[in-house]
Chain A
């Protein structure tokens, strides 16, 4: 059956949860893929919904360039520990009010 398409299976564990990748099935068409996926990922009621996606239809995006060091846009771009300490010391020395 290797010449058949691979279908990636995503499952939703409960209502309101995100779909999560669970595994994959190999099948000759969508109906067979659904039958295998129901059997392997849903038969004990462990999923409230399944998504089946042909692997070929997935566009894989992996390379994230960060040549310009853009971390000022993220929390890891800020290290405030030393400055906060200094600020607290100054405030402490001056006393409240």
Chain B
């Protein structure tokens, strides 16, 4: 079979990726495509790396040894995802050291949900269950990303995320079947996280105005992802007797979910570095990047 040639001009390349064509590291690609890939994938890597910090805070306070081990394994997985993802960015032309430097200097973004505090063990359950559920919806759509090396590592990432969701659901089930105080911890955590969760997939901009969609880096619109999240998880929340803190939330007869408009100003404020925990967590990363410099030096000298 004759190999499909990657088109050498921007318009033809765009049509090629929109038709489902995939691109490898060594193929020609337009500068704008490369720049958008780096921006998108780097933010994903940053989110994996920063996303472990809210959970890390609970490793020492986990209620049982089994929970401590599971949480540690999840944190290890997420850092592993960051390693895989930064490697992809590196091949596109931006070295990992620069990604990390931009991150700790506050020049790069990471997902809104990782800028918030984890007040109780209930928050840990809600993060592992619902934040990971929201994330896996985006990541499953990335299995069809036009950039093949990114799509390939997503297979491994989705496989591990499935364990995280089940672990989170198990934490939640243990608490909702426990004492009234435990149930209340879950409800309070859900109340805290619902706003950020509804903002997670981003403004409902039309797909044809989203550059990430036009290059088929994403194959799913923001609102489509949010609807999929609501359809999959609201019934699972309700069946546990929990209340979703949105009086306008309902499923229409045609299957579309209606909800109160998420606070887009808060989303913008938080992801531009003004979340309640942004500075503290970046300072933590800065400190450890500095402290572990000797490890990189030793490996470099090997």
Contacts and interface: CB of A to CB of B under 8 A. Distances in A.
B266 interface: no
Interface string A1-31: 1101010000000000000011111101100
Task: Name the residue in A25, A39, A44 with the highest tally of chain B Cβ atoms < 10 Å from its Cβ.
Answer: A44
Contacts of A56: none
Interface in A22-62: 22-26, 28-29, 32, 36, 39-41, 43-44, 46, 60, 62
Interface residues of B, number: 24
B160 A23 contact: no
A1 B88 CA distance: 15
B302 A28 contact: yes
A1 B96 contact: yes
B156 A46 contact: yes
B97 interface: yes
Secondary structure type dominating chain B contacts: helix
Contacts of B87: 23-26
Contacts of B262: none
B231 interface: no
Contacts of B3: 62-64
A28 B299 CA distance: 7
B152 interface: yes
A22 B152 contact: yes
25 contacts: A1-B97, A1-B299, A2-B90, A2-B95, A2-B97, A4-B300, A6-B91, A22-B152, A23-B84, A23-B152, A24-B87, A26-B90, A28-B299, A28-B300, A32-B302, A40-B80, A40-B83, A43-B80, A44-B160, A46-B156, A46-B159, A62-B3, A63-B3, A64-B2, A66-B2
